[in-house]
Amino acid sequence: MARNGELNKHTFGSTIPGAEPYWYQGYHSPYYNDSHKKFRNAVRAFVEEEIKPNVDEWIESGEGYPQELHREAYRRGIQGALFPEEYGGTPPEGFDAFHELILWDELARVGGGGALGQLAINSMALPPIIDYGTQYVKDLTIGGLVKGDINVSLAISEPSAGSDVSNIQTTAVRDGEYFVINGSKKWITGGHIAHYFTMLCRTGKSGAAGTTVILVPADTPGLRVRKMKTQFDSCHGTTFINMDDVRVHERMMIGEEGKGFNYITRNFNHERFVIAAGVVRMARVCYEEAFKEAQMRETFGKKLNQHQVIRFKLAEMSRLIESLHDNVERVAFQFSQGMSDTHLGAACALLKVNSTKVFEYCSREASQIFGGSSIVREGRGYIVERLAREVRAQAVPGGSEEILLDFAIRQAIARQGKSNL
């Protein structure tokens, strides 16, 4: 370790100040060890060799990422990093929340959310199966998913139920040993490549208590999936699902009937952490691209970075990004110490809101620095243009900003009330 105020000599990635997390650029951190560095190097190599050379073509084609990408990610120890060894996972030595932070941060370097979305769908849909699924359900999904052979998407949101999960209308009515499912799901990430859906259905009365989680095979008769046209990166694979008399055997039920809301919402805090971990890098990419543009482009006879107003924009972007990254690490540390979701609800809600607001600001300022180059899907500003379309795609999922802010304060009020008893 360096002494006497020296920087660590082991640097990694871009040499632009602030274009990488501080611990990549010679600064010390109490959170990361050799295992984290090794995993970071592996994910960076995977992104550079397998995703970045092809991502523009995949996005423009509208087809998304090929299944082989998931298999290659498994071979490289990335697809299986998030899952226990007992299920075929390949977690790095001493796996913790900081390994996961590295994964989502590095995947977001491609300058779009599709890589994050499609490679993250399995991590969102699998926890209810691992925690509450029968051995039969686990055998159907976990091994193939971890190895990159199949995908499982989380199917909760509906046309009339986004953030208000307890208001879902899709019904699953018992008919002997089967559930007959009718309804629709909307904004389902990766639905077009999913082999199964971890689906929340209404099996009882209105409200949270009447919901059940069911594993629904994508090839079940009566189930139709179509890709939705969106403003953002097509590799997200945002889909709409219709179900007309879809018959699913009761052995596909995950956990107990009527407890689906509790199973699903336990994963929401993790989802918000994942979004924030990727979004902080998207904001950083905006800053990096703007920094390079300011070094290269001239206006009124001098480089952009010789204009004080441009330097101010870059400084503000960097200030907000570094503060946000510290916020992400603070939450990651709580996860790594085993703090329960119950106590992290407000922290994850505020983190997610903070992340997308910072991203929105950095996207706007990068666009201002690029000028006209930021509004066309070609040329040197095309990454900034793509990220500008990504802002709302990150701000809306996981709960709208207004709902999350209200949720965080309601939790604070409730906790304060208990402390006064």
> Above 70 in pLDDT, residue 87?
yes
Q: How far apart are CA 144 and CA 246, in angstroms?
A: 24
Kindly report, residue by residue over 110-147, the tens digit of the pLDDT: 887 666 666 777 778 888 999 999 999 999 999 999 99
Residue 1 banded pLDDT, cuts 50, 70, 90 = very low
Same domain as 124, residue 43: yes
Higher pLDDT, 104 or 64: 104
Distance, CA of 42 to CA of 90 (rounded, Å): 13
Say which DSSP state 340 is in: -
403 inside domain: yes
CATH code where residue 176 lies: 2.40.110.10
Q: Tell me the C-alpha distance between 146 and 254, whole Å.
A: 19
Tokens of 135: 């051995």
> So what's the pLDDT on residue 11?
86
Same domain, 408 and 278: yes
Same structural domain, 284 and 411: yes
**pLDDT on residue 123:** 77
Residue 18: pLDDT above 80? yes
Helix (H, G, I), strand (E, B) or coil at 419: helix
Q: What is the pLDDT of residues 219-265, one digit of tens each?
A: 999 999 998 887 776 677 789 999 999 999 999 999 999 999 989 88
Has residue 142 been placed in a domain?
no
pLDDT of 160 reads: 82
pLDDT tens-place string over residues 176-213: 999 999 999 998 988 888 999 999 999 998 888 899 99
User: Angle formed by the axes of helices 268-296 and 341-370, to 10°?
Assistant: 20
The residue-averaged pLDDT of 64-79 equals 88
pLDDT tens figures, 331-348: 999 999 988 777 899 999
6 in any annotated domain: no
Considering the domain architecture, whether residues 237 and 176 belong to the same structural domain is answered as yes
Q: Residue 118: its pLDDT value, please?
A: 65
Is 356 in the same domain as 294? yes
Structure confidence by residue, pLDDT tens digits, 19-38: 999 999 999 999 999 999 99
Instruction: Give me the DSSP letters along 3-53.
Output: -TTPPPS---S--STTSS-GGGGT---SS--HHHHHHHHHHHHHIIIIITT
- pLDDT(5) > 90: no
Q: Do 236 and 127 fall into the same domain?
A: no
Residue identified by tokens 């070094």 is 295
pLDDT value, residue 281: 97
Domain that holds residue 391: 267-419
Angle, vertex CA 361, rays to CA 347 and CA 364, nearest 5: 155
- For residue 140, tell me if it sits in a domain: no
Q: Does pTM top 0.85 for this prediction?
A: yes
The secondary structure of 150-217 as a DSSP string is --EEEE--BTTBSS-GGG---EEEEETTEEEEEEEEEEEETGGG-SEEEEEEE-SSSSGGGEEEEEEE
Tell whether 260 and 271 lie within a shared domain: no
- pLDDT > 90: percent of the chain: 68
